[in-house]
Structure 1
Amino acid sequence: MTSPSSLAQPSAERLRVGVIGVGYLGRIHAKIYAAMPEVELVGVVDVDEKVAREIAAVHGCAAYTAPDALIGKVDAVSIVTPTVFHAGVAKPYLEAGVHMLMEKPIAPSYDESQSVVALAARKNVIFQVGHLERFNAGVLALAERVHDPRFLEVHRIGPFVARATDVDVVTDLMIHDIDIVLALVNSEVRQVQAIGIPVLTEHVDIVNARIEFENGAVANVTASRVSTKKLRRIRIFGDHHYYGLDYAEQKLELAHAIPDEAGGDWPKVITEVVPITPRPPLDTELEHFVRSVRTGTPPVVDGQVGLRAQRVAQYVKEAVAACSQK
């Protein structure tokens, strides 16, 4: 059996990469790959030929409209199409042994996502799911510091944008925070309660979920794409300390209690800014993917991690549906 490491490219060679779907996010993938000295952006694919040609001209690569046009030409691809097309586009590349970064979620349904991940495993390719926020500098700092969170409060809200309206807000936004909460808590989910409603689309646009874990930790997660202001923040409470992260600003604060030197009955609370270096998360994410392919090292957000986040997202959706029927 071939191992992922045996499929990795020799370090002296440039990795041949393509991007399938160059809409809003896909064109950023193309730009980042094109700037990497260890990567050759071979081509971009989009059903809109004009868009494909425009992006290809910017980066000096080939343009295609057929989804499978890059098979045999690339070592790795980013799949950045609408979710409904993910599995159909991905499977021929996986069958051909092409490494893959697929934007979240893997597919519209959990069962279909499982089939994609299973195929990637059978073909022994590097398969990374694009949970972008995992590579936020603040989240990376939290992962090093947070070991036993007891309560997590998360808000990801913003004004309506006519993009990703083919899915609900759980799939569009909340799944980012579900993934981060699961990584930080590192315990099995015991129970999920949720409420949500559609506001501007036919899908649920605002959701609040309470996720309880077997180890006693609780996460309260709110996602909205119909708010008047933008807020992306996570607060994490543990014994005698609290972390607060502004995702957008990549600013992390720590508040912790120390004994009152004056001998009072209550501890003194000290707040400090945790030093981190802000950086575009997508740059870090794609560099991680390229490094995984070149070294054969499994990515942090592999297929199983992506499936777990999608499974809990499905629990949230089911809880919302059950609540709306009461």
Structure 2
Amino acid sequence: MAESLRGGVIGAGVFGGYHARQYARLRGVTLSAVYDPHPERAAQVAMPLGGRAFHDLDAFFEAVDVVTIASPATFHAEQALAAIAAGKPVYVEKPIAISVADAERVREAADKQGLVVACGHQERVRFQAMGLLDVPEQPVLLEALRHGPPSGRSQDVSAVLDLMVHDLDLALTLSTADPVTAEGEGRIGASGSWDAARAEVSFESGFAAIFDSSRMAPERKRTMRVVFPSGEVEIDFLAGTFRNTTPFRLNADFEQTPAAKDPLGASVEGFLAAVRGEAPRPVVTAQEAIRALDLALAIEQALDEQG
């Protein structure tokens, strides 16, 4: 592997731009290429950062050492498999795919070639900075609310795969038990999919998790409450309030840490460290992303059945 990695981004939308800027600024990597089916969009992202625009995927792969996939979710698996077939480690924005079967194909293909696959559940970085992932107790209850107004982005997937999946990943990370049931209710919006959803998930341990996500709300809201046997943690991310009644030392000022200020940057750095062999794994592995996807799809099925 070259000392300075050549980074490439598939997808020249908003998230593609975010990722391109990370490759342009991080240590030991340069932005080499941006691929998009619309060459003018690729050029708008790549050229100001010193990269080249591509609309031919094979030529793009020849120009890069590592790949980020920031295209619409419906293309994630197909493009990840193409990157892996070209011998490239890959960072896939969430969700890793839109079916578990496709996600497993990505994981298996990467495993066969010994390539790193990371997934962009960047919220994991913030909870690490908080210290929540180091609490030595199993949770009893989690309540997560994530609301926002319509934005026009990620319209190819539901609010479950777009928004709720972040909190599903957190619940799965906090609990050593597996989920056993999922129930849900929601509303179909302008996207033709579930743009608002509320789900209740029970785990083998008795842990209960309640998720409320919407991208058709009048205003932004983002709160979380996690109850442990010894106390609870309650956070309003927008108001900046933090209440901790557990005996565990959590960082109420976690938002001021470098990682929490730039969770995407920390996540991409973790991917690059794993590629270089400086870290044993990325922040979120393919297998962890598959667990979150599997639970998200179970919730979508529950929503469809409630219909």
2:142 is aligned, of 133, 152, 164, to 152
- Partner of residue 53 from structure 2, selected from 63, 68, 79: 63
**Match status 1:192 vs 2:182:** yes
Contact 2:267 2:283 in 1 (8 A): no
Q: Helix, strand or coil: the match of 2:60?
A: coil
State the identity as a percent.
31
Alignment of 1:267-306 (within 5 A): 274-276=252-254, 277=257, 278-295=260-277, 297-306=280-289
Correspondences of 1:72-87 after superposition (within 5 Å)? 72-87=62-77
Cα distance between partner residues in 2 of 1:219 and 1:174: 12
- Which amino acid in structure 2 is aligned with residue 300 of structure 1? V
Alignment of 1:1-326 (within 5 A): 9=1, 13-136=3-126, 140-145=130-135, 147-247=137-237, 252-256=242-246, 274-276=252-254, 277=257, 278-295=260-277, 297-324=280-307
Task: State the secondary structure of the residue aligned to 2:186.
Answer: strand
- Structure 1 stretch displaced more, 289-298 or 26-35: 289-298
Looking at structure 1, the residues matched to 49 and 240 of structure 2 have their Cα atoms a distance apart, in angstroms, of 29
| Alpha-carbon distance in 2 for matches of 1:209, 1:58 | 43
Question: What is the CA-CA distance between 1:205 and the residue it aligns to?
Answer: 1.1
Matching residue's letter, 1:155: L
Q: Which runs of 5+ in 1 are unaligned?
A: 1-8, 258-271
Distance 1:252 1:78, change over 3 A: farther
Larger Rg belongs to: 1
Aligned residues: 301
Structure 1 pair 142–241 and aligned structure 2 pair: CA distance change class (3 A): same
TM-score by length of 1: 0.86
1:265-320 per-residue CA deviation (whole Å, 9 max, x = no partner) reads: xxxxxxx9723224121111111111111116222311111111111111101111
Return the alpha-carbon distance in structure 2 between the equivalents of residues 250 and 96 of structure 1.
Answer: 44
Q: Which moved more, 1:87-96 or 1:227-236?
A: 87-96
Q: Which runs of 5+ in 2 are unaligned?
A: none
Q: Distance in 2 between matches of 1:219 and 1:113?
A: 24
CA contact (8 A) 2:271 2:281 kept: no
CA contact (8 A) 2:131 2:251 kept: no
CA distance in 1, matches of 2:266, 2:49: 20
User: For 1:86 and 1:240, how far apart are their aligned partners in 2?
Assistant: 41
Aligned equivalents of 1:82, 1:43: Cα separation in 2: 18
Paired with 2:238 and 2:19, the residues of 1 have a C-alpha distance of 19
| Cα 1:250/1:132, change in 2 over 3 Å | farther
1:135/1:285 contact within 8 Å kept: yes
Q: Secondary structure of 1:113's partner?
A: helix
Q: Which moved further from structure 2: 65-74 or 205-214? A: 65-74
Please report how far the alpha carbon of residue 17 of structure 1 lies from its aligned counterpart in structure 2 after TM superposition.
1.1
**Is contact 1:136-1:247 (8 Å) kept?**
no
Tell me how far 1:114 sits from its aligned partner: 1.4
What's the secondary structure of 2:103's corresponding residue? helix
Alignment RMSD (CA, Å): 2.1
- d(CA) in 2 for partners of 1:293, 1:252: 35
SS at match of 1:274: coil
| 1:289 partner amino acid | F
Q: Distance in 2 between the 1:245 and 1:49 partners? A: 43
1:254 deviation in Å?
0.9
Which secondary structure state, in structure 2, belongs to the residue aligned with residue 70 of structure 1? helix
The structure with the largest helix share of the pair is 2
